[in-house]
Amino acid sequence: MSENEQKQDVEAATPKPGILKKTIVMVGMMGAGKTAVGRALAARLDVPFLDSDHEIEAAANMTIPEIFERDGVEYFRKKESQVISRLLAEERGVLSTGGGAFLSEENREIIKENGVSVWLQADLEVTWNRVKHRNTRPLLRTDNPRKTLSELYDARVPMYAKADLHVPSDGQVTIEEMVDRALQALKNRPDVLEWT
């Protein structure tokens, strides 16, 4: 049997993800890969990819840093909750949320009722290496962004740990391998994803 035939046999024996019953909500720190992994997961499942930050920017016709600067964090968090609630009600798919979205008890409850939360569990160094060269993170516009990120990380990890599923990311795997890890975690959730 050729290597290609063996690969086809393995693929045939592996169940394929089928019908999505609830929205998969990606949560975690900025730089954890929520958008990249979420987009690839949605493509693999052939479902819509939704991004709460993008939807907020489109509705406001402003970037998130501009919203933070003009209206403040509280206003942004209120709009974020409204958008997440709307997206969960309107369409089933994979939803990427901002790093602070899951901190809100209201958001966690909305997500639990209408979807399943998947924490992309990246450590501090992985997230720092991904965000340190970008100036699009309003919370890191401080004198010491590395220290700020560390403080955010320490404060947020206990909230992320409340997610339904945890998918570790060591920063050494590809996006497709992260999708495989997420699907593996979802195998025990037939209420979310029906396998064929």
20-183 has which CATH code? 3.40.50.300
Q: Which pLDDT does position 3 carry in this prediction?
A: 54
pLDDT per residue as tens digits for the range 107-133: 999 999 999 999 999 988 888 887 777
pLDDT per residue as tens digits for the range 5-62: 544 544 444 556 668 999 999 999 988 889 999 999 999 999 999 999 999 999 889 9
Q: Which pLDDT does position 39 carry in this prediction?
A: 96
- The model's confidence at residue 138, banded by pLDDT at 50, 70 and 90, is low
Q: Taking the CA atoms of the chain, what radius of gyration do you get in angstroms?
A: 18
pLDDT per residue as tens digits for the range 142-186: 778 788 888 989 999 999 999 999 999 887 889 999 999 999 999
Binding site listing for Mg(2+): 35
The residues, ordered by sequence, that sit 6+ positions from 175 with a Cβ below 8 Å of its Cβ are 33, 36, 37, 40
pLDDT of 89 strictly over 60: yes
> ∠ at Cα 194 (41, 95), nearest 5°?
35
Binding site listing for substrate: 53, 77, 99, 156
Binding site listing for ATP: 31-36, 137
Q: Which pLDDT does position 36 carry in this prediction?
A: 93
Q: Which pLDDT does position 10 carry in this prediction?
A: 41
Binding site listing: 31-36, 53, 77, 99, 137, 156
Instruction: Determine how β-strand 115-122 pairs with β-strand 49-51.
Output: unpaired
